């Protein structure tokens, strides 16, 4: 059995497995342990302490409180872009439909929220006075690859702009379609 990871929420555990097992988190098994939920998939395990999940829910942070030990900032940026693309596409389909669809509406809104939340996770890795992250902040192959190929996507200024854009995307979607 491989080393056990530590997640800050159930959502973070499942997103982690989507990254490392290419979208296979739906195959993960969850068991109750004395100190938390154990999420297992293909020989990998992630523990979600009960206190961490409760703290995330109480603070309204979907991915958890504190700094991720599972997902590096490069991965968070890629996750954010994926959700933002889904929100844009979903919003276009929603706007084009003749009848409102509550499930699709909630899906688009959730995608905008997840995009913003994922960028906020990447921003947590920045020290207060730094505009860029040091190389050792990226421990995954995916994160290191993004840093090497597109370092401009990983600056504080770019991420703060993305965060504002995704929040504005959510606000605009809700403003335009809440009464549909």
pLDDT digits (tens, 9 = 90+) for 60-96: 999 999 999 999 999 999 999 999 999 999 999 998 8
**Same structural domain for residues 78 and 40?**
no
Judgement on whether residues 44 and 85 belong to the same structural domain of the protein:
no
Residue pair 36/53 in contact by the 8 Å Cβ criterion: yes
Residues 101 and 156 occupy one common structural domain: yes
Q: Is residue 25 in a domain?
A: yes
The label of the residue with tokens 């401009």 reads 152
Span 102-108, mean pLDDT?
93
How does the average pLDDT of the chain come out, rounded? 93
Same domain, 163 and 83: yes
Q: How many folded domains does the chain comprise?
A: 2
pLDDT at 41 over 70: yes
Query: Degrees (nearest 5) of the Cα angle 134, 137, 143?
Result: 110
Q: Is the pLDDT of residue 27 over 70?
A: yes
Assessment of whether the complete model's pTM goes beyond 0.85? yes
Q: Which domain holds residue 12?
A: 4-59
Whether residue 42 sits in one domain with residue 121: no
Taking only the tens place, the pLDDT of each residue in 130-159 is 999 999 999 999 999 999 999 999 999 999
């Amino acid at each position: 059995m491989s080393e056990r990871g530590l997640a800050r929420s159930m959502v973070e555990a499942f997103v982690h497995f989507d990254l490392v097992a290419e979208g296979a988190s739906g195959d993960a098994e969850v068991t109750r342990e004395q100190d938390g939920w154990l999420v297992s998939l293909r020989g990998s395990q992630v523990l979600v302490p009960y206190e961490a999940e409760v703290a995330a829910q109480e603070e309204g942070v979907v991915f958890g409180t504190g700094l991720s030990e599972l997902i590096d900032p490069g991965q968070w940026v890629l996750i954010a872009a994926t959700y933002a693309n889904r929100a844009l596409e979903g919003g276009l389909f929603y706007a084009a439909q003749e009848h409102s669809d509550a499930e699709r509406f909630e899906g688009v809104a959730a995608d905008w929220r997840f995009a913003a939340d994922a960028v906020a996770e990447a921003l947590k890795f920045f020290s207060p006075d730094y505009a860029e992250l040091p190389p050792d902040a990226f421990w995954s192959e995916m994160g290191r690859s993004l840093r090497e190929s597109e370092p401009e996507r990983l600056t504080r200024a770019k991420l703060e702009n993305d965060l504002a854009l995704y929040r504005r995307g959510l606000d605009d979607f809700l403003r335009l379609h809440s009464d549909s």
